Amino acid sequence: MDHLLPPDIVEAGRTFPSALAACSDLDTLLRLKGAYVGREGSHAARLMDLLKLAPKEQKRELGAAINALKQQWEEGLKSRQAEMEARKRSRKAQTAGWDPSLPPPVPAQGALHPLNRLMDRLVEVFRPLGFHVEEGPEIETEAHNFDGLNIPEDHPAKASSDTFYLAAHPDLLLRTHTSPVQVRTLLRVAQDLGARGGIRFLSPGRVYRKDEIDPTHSPMFHQVEGMLVGHGIGMQHLKGTLEYALRALFGPHTEIRLRPSYFPFVEPGCEVDVSCPLCGAKGCRVCKGSGWVEILGAGLIHPKVLEYAGIDPAEWSGWAFGMGVERMAMMLSQTPDLRLFFENDQRFLKAMGGLD
């Protein structure tokens, strides 16, 4: 439609955005407004005169071009004016209550996120028992994430509806738990396990699953897993270690109980509950009146997991456990919504100092 408009009007339309951006104050903007859409002598007024004189067969097309230009100019000017006025109000509000005799504000100091602090606390609880930290990649192979943990081919966790696979590398995935660190560590130390006399370690970190975001689920969350391998290790060693650790976390009067459960990588497996630390096992909203709160899953390492790493299960045995960091943080802080730990609300994060 530009062929119907005078060249100077076409040029004015082309340069309008840069002229608008160059307006540094309201006076300059008002002068620009007068030049483009003012009642007399403006580009818009000239266009209306042009429309009146145009041949009948051109009026419809020319009218559409003129309206489009006028709308573009008016909306741009209105938006720029609102932006300037808002900035002016903000500056006025900032200076209205300013007292030059007051000391300058102290900048906020950063701190570790509550989930990181809780993971550090878990590591410190186990450190006196000889546990160290092992880490692994968050992008894993199927072999480390599933096969080395005795997870069968038809297990639901292997489905693409549950696990994030990399489109360009179908054999790679975002790890669904921190257990692949156990597989990698056992493969690394298998040859000198005897010289070491066994191994014990924790593996804290981020994990990923295809969960919908809601108050109790997230596609990204945190786990801390522990493993001990040695000679003659049984369930009594697992129970004794967990009693020590959970009492250090929740208080000396904490009781634990083990309930049978199934996990492919341990046999036998169990769920571990603690007496509710918030009500003293009397019954409350957090423990749903039962006095107990499920805190982690555990069990004796399945012989096939040891065999996969080249370790003889007839000579060596061990246990492993895994706990969700967010679940523990929610229980300790009585936070009803998991999403609060990821939304970066400074008020919430400061209130979580009690997790230290």
Shared-domain flag, residues 331 and 241 = yes
Over the stretch 205-240, which tens digit does the pLDDT of each residue have? Answer: 999 999 988 888 899 999 999 999 999 999 999 999
Dihedrals φ, ψ of 160, to 5°?
-70, -15
Q: What three-state secondary structure class fits 356? A: coil
The answer to whether position 104 is within a domain reads no
Shared-domain flag, residues 327 and 221 = yes
Which of the listed residues 96, 123, 153 is the one where a domain comes to its end? 96
Shared-domain flag, residues 40 and 180 = no
**DSSP letter for each residue of 21-74:** HT--SHHHHHHHHHHHH-SSSSHHHHHHHHHHHS-HHHHHHHHHHHHHHHHHHH
Shared-domain flag, residues 120 and 260 = yes
The answer to whether position 159 is within a domain reads yes
Q: What three-state secondary structure class fits 107? A: coil
DSSP state of 255: -
Closest to 204 (Cα-Cα) out of 179, 181, 223: 223
Q: How many residues does the chain have?
A: 356
Q: What three-state secondary structure class fits 77? A: helix
| pLDDT at residue 313, as a whole number | 96
Question: What is the pLDDT averaged over residues 283-304?
Answer: 90
The answer to whether position 18 is within a domain reads yes
Query: In Å, how far from its chain's centre is CA 76?
Result: 38
| pLDDT at residue 151, as a whole number | 94
Mean pLDDT of the residues in the chain: 88
Shared-domain flag, residues 170 and 269 = yes
304 beta partners? none
Say which CATH number the domain at 239 has.
Answer: 3.30.930.10
- Among 120-134, 309-323, 330-344, the minimum mean pLDDT is found in 330-344
Q: What three-state secondary structure class fits 82? A: helix
| pLDDT at residue 353, as a whole number | 66
The answer to whether position 325 is within a domain reads yes
Shared-domain flag, residues 212 and 349 = yes
Task: Quote the CA–CA distance of 292 and 279 in Å, as a whole number.
Answer: 10
Shared-domain flag, residues 163 and 81 = no
CB of 229 within 8 A of CB of 311?
Answer: yes
CB of 189 within 8 A of CB of 227?
Answer: no
| pLDDT at residue 132, as a whole number | 96
Task: Quote the CA–CA distance of 135 and 180 in Å, as a whole number.
Answer: 10
pTM of the predicted model over 0.85: no
**Alpha-carbon distance values, 257 to 44, 226, 240, 285, 318 (Å):** 82, 18, 11, 20, 19
> Tokens for 12?
């004015």
Question: What is the pLDDT averaged over residues 135-162?
Answer: 94
Residue 297 pLDDT class (50, 70, 90 cuts): very high
| pLDDT at residue 356, as a whole number | 46
Residue 16 pLDDT class (50, 70, 90 cuts): confident
Over the stretch 129-140, which tens digit does the pLDDT of each residue have? Answer: 999 999 999 999
| pLDDT at residue 337, as a whole number | 86
Q: How many domains does the chain have?
A: 2
Task: Quote the CA–CA distance of 352 and 92 in Å, as a whole number.
Answer: 35
Shared-domain flag, residues 330 and 216 = yes
Most confident of 41-55, 244-258, 274-288: 244-258
Task: Quote the CA–CA distance of 165 and 146 in Å, as a whole number.
Answer: 13
Shared-domain flag, residues 138 and 273 = yes
Domain that holds residue 218: 114-355
- Among 14-18, 53-57, 258-262, 263-267, the minimum mean pLDDT is found in 53-57
| pLDDT at residue 196, as a whole number | 92
Task: Quote the CA–CA distance of 185 and 214 in Å, as a whole number.
Answer: 34
Shared-domain flag, residues 7 and 134 = no
